[in-house]
Amino acid sequence: MLVEIVTYLDRLREIALDQHGFVTLAQAVEAGVPQPQVAQLTARGRLDRVAHGVYRVPQVPATRYDNWAKAVLWTGAPEACLSHETALAAWEISDVNPDRIHLNVARKRRLRRAGGEQYVIHRHDLAPGRLTRFEQIPITDVPTTIGQCITWGLDTHLVRQALERGGKTSRLPRTDRERLAQQLEERDHGHS
């Protein structure tokens, strides 16, 4: 008879593999890892505490998207996603280079966590279907992202660039592109 022993660290690693090496305390507890065990694994150097309620499993290789994945998990909000300028950068349809990570959470969500200085928190309730994934990280879809950037006040040339480049992909349907171009025109000419 073969007995499979799954350790707490194995459970956490399984979660972290889909999240760029990160796991939240809430996810650990949900996976059956008692909170004191998370603290013990951290004290032993098997986990690294990287933010409030967010841990890194060192055995999972780092990726270029780690900061984005960590930012979404830092919120502790299940609906959190990359948005605005950060999402625009992720979709690679504009030369935007945000100095902070933009995150979207529900309008009523209140975040009381330390360590969010490098984040810009936007509170909007996203319509169903406007959330997708980029490298396994929740993110606003391209039309939503561009619309957010127009409303946020991103430079016109960067938005036009996104409309042009995005329009050459299947991620920005023609009807959305036309609607967003009109929205940008109204914003820039004060007819909104």
Higher-pLDDT residue of 116 and 139 is: 139
Domain count for the chain, please give it. Answer: 2
At residue 191, the pLDDT reads: 55
64-82 pLDDT, tens digit per residue, is: 999 999 999 999 999 999 9
DSSP annotation of 135: T
The whole-angstrom separation of Cα 76 and Cα 26 is 8
In a domain, 71, yes or no: no
- 92 and 177 assigned to the same domain: yes
- 100 and 181 assigned to the same domain: yes
Whether residue 16 is predicted with pLDDT greater than 60 in this model: the reply is yes
- 40 and 86 assigned to the same domain: no
In a domain, 64, yes or no: no
Dihedral in degrees, nearest 10, Cα atoms 23, 144, 141, 153: -70
Q: List CB contacts of 11: < 8 A, sequence separation 6 or more.
A: 28, 31, 32, 33
Region 161-172 average pLDDT: 96
In a domain, 30, yes or no: yes
In a domain, 69, yes or no: no
Token pair for residue 150? Answer: 């127009």
In a domain, 1, yes or no: no
What mean pLDDT value characterizes the chain? Answer: 93
- 46 and 95 assigned to the same domain: no
DSSP annotation of 137: E
- 122 and 163 assigned to the same domain: yes
- 17 and 104 assigned to the same domain: no
In a domain, 19, yes or no: yes
DSSP annotation of 41: H
At residue 128, the pLDDT reads: 83
- 43 and 104 assigned to the same domain: no
What are the strands of the beta sheet with 119-123, ordered from one edge? 119-123, 101-105, 81-82, 137-140, 131-134
At residue 111, the pLDDT reads: 83
**What DSSP line would sit under 58-114, residue for residue?**
TTSPP-TTHHHHHHHHHT--TT-EE-HHHHHHHHT-S----SSEEEEE-TT-----T
Handedness of CA 125, 21, 53, 36 (dihedral sign): positive
- 29 and 111 assigned to the same domain: no
* From 32-41, 73-82, 107-116, 120-129, the region with the lowest mean pLDDT: 107-116
Whether residue 165 is predicted with pLDDT greater than 50 in this model: the reply is yes
- 84 and 52 assigned to the same domain: no
Whether the Cβ atoms of residue 48 and residue 42 lie closer than 8 Å to each other: yes
141-154 pLDDT, tens digit per residue, is: 999 999 999 999 99
In a domain, 156, yes or no: yes
- 86 and 171 assigned to the same domain: yes
- 35 and 105 assigned to the same domain: no
43-64 pLDDT, tens digit per residue, is: 999 999 999 899 999 999 999 9
The whole-angstrom separation of Cα 79 and Cα 93 is 24
> 192: pLDDT confidence band, cut at 50, 70 and 90?
very low
* From 5-9, 63-67, 100-104, 145-149, the region with the lowest mean pLDDT: 5-9
Q: List CB contacts of 67: < 8 A, sequence separation 6 or more.
A: 101
What residue numbers bound the domain in which 43 lies?
Answer: 8-56
Whether residue 140 is predicted with pLDDT greater than 90 in this model: the reply is yes
What are the strands of the beta sheet with 54-56, ordered from one edge? 22-24, 54-56, 48-51
In a domain, 70, yes or no: no
Percent of the chain scoring above 90 in pLDDT: 89
- 119 and 160 assigned to the same domain: yes
